[in-house]
Structure 1
Amino acid sequence: MAVRQIVKFPDPRLRQPAAPVTAFDATLAALAADLLDTMRAAPGIGITAPHVGVLARVVVLELSPEEGPRIYINPEIVWSSPETIRHAEGSVSMPGAIEEVERQARVRVRYQDLAGAFQEEEAEGLRAVCHQHECDQLDGIFWLQRLSRLKRERVVRKYEKAQRSDAGR
């Protein structure tokens, strides 16, 4: 397993849709393991293959050490609740940038496991937010696109300023 380099905002690859996974093999398992290592090193609670420059529909979530990591291949949201919640979001591709985003409170996700078997999962709260956030990323929708123009511009300015000051150190 290895920590891979994370693609940083505003890299255009973060706005490209990822292709469905068709080969459920050792290469896929290695990618999932690398994503887990990379996410933990970032640190983060969710990561997609596009975050490391691989345009494949692979997601790894680890919301707590007690629950452990979960891997989702070709995930899609098949149902979402009419109720919404607001939650602070960010990205491993834009470290330090955080803003509240409104999302559905509950979702049902259909996905495949590492062996290719189809699964479904219902999620609420933070897990539902993460599923929506990462499925957006797989569809080429970077989280900033869910913000108003004013909030998006403010977050980008703050992030760019932080990057310049980090580069000066």
Structure 2
Amino acid sequence: MLLEILKYPDPRLRVKCKPVDKFDEELKKIVNDMAETMYNAPGVGLAAPQVGIDKRLFIIDISKEKNDLKVFINPTILKKEGEICDEEGCLSVPGEYANVTRAEVVEAVAQDINGNEFIIKADGLMARAIQHELDHLNGTLFLDRLPAFKRESVKKHIKRRQLAGEY
């Protein structure tokens, strides 16, 4: 089932999400609905709060074929290495892109759909996506990581698009 993707400045995007403690059929349905929504959007990642769900959960699929879904439940970054600045966008801030500085390499721990813990070391787009989606679980948007002048410029652009009915 396709879910509605919340758009900035919806206040639900600012909630610090609660940990997942039940790994059941309901959770599997949420993940399946989120995957269908993300692939339809189309995007490479989607966090639960972006669809109004208050759970520490996100999904990522950076494959070209869109057949390598990764599920991260109750994730934490263990290590960060390096620094790289690259362009980011967000399904909750459609049509807006900006350069964001993030760690180049991350090591994260999370649980899978069955509650099994795993560790992943990632670089490139996967590292960027993990950091971006984890920010969502803490109520942070990529806009918050921009320099003040750039953030204000993007916000003004969004306002203009809202007034014109394009956002």
**TM-score tier (shorter):** over 0.9
Aligned residue pairs, count: 166
Could you report, residue by residue, the CA deviation over 1:111-141 in whole angstroms, capped at 9, with x for unpaired residues? Answer: 0000000000000011111111111110111
Return the alpha-carbon distance in structure 2 between the equivalents of residues 93 and 99 of structure 1.
Answer: 14
Q: Is the 8 A contact 1:75 1:112 kept in 2?
A: yes
Is residue 2:47 matched to residue 1:9? no
Residue 51 of structure 2: aligned partner: 52
Could you report, residue by residue, the CA deviation over 1:25-77 in whole angstroms, capped at 9, with x for unpaired residues? Answer: 00000000111111112221110000000010111101124452111111110
Return the alpha-carbon distance in structure 1 between the equivalents of residues 71 and 166 of structure 2.
Answer: 34
Residue 38 of structure 1: aligned partner: 37
- Indicate the SS of the match to 1:31: helix
Deviation of 1:102 (Å): 0.2
TM-score of the superposed pair, with normalisation by structure 1: 0.93
Residue 119 of structure 2: aligned partner: 120
TM-score of the superposed pair, with normalisation by structure 2: 0.94
- Indicate the SS of the match to 1:75: strand
Deviation of 1:87 (Å): 1.4
Return the alpha-carbon distance in structure 1 between the equivalents of residues 107 and 38 of structure 2.
Answer: 24
- Indicate the SS of the match to 1:20: coil
Residue 23 of structure 1: aligned partner: 22
Could you report, residue by residue, the CA deviation over 1:66-92 in whole angstroms, capped at 9, with x for unpaired residues? Answer: 4521111111101111x1011111211
* Aligned amino acid, residue 80 of structure 1: K
Q: Is the 8 A contact 1:96 1:159 kept in 2?
A: no
Deviation of 1:154 (Å): 0.9
Deviation of 1:162 (Å): 2.4
Question: Which segments of 5 or more consecutive residues in structure 1 lack a partner in the other structure?
Answer: none
Residue 99 of structure 1: aligned partner: 98
Return the alpha-carbon distance in structure 1 between the equivalents of residues 58 and 117 of structure 2.
Answer: 15
Return the alpha-carbon distance in structure 2 between the equivalents of residues 5 and 139 of structure 1.
Answer: 20
Return the alpha-carbon distance in structure 2 between the equivalents of residues 6 and 96 of structure 1.
Answer: 14
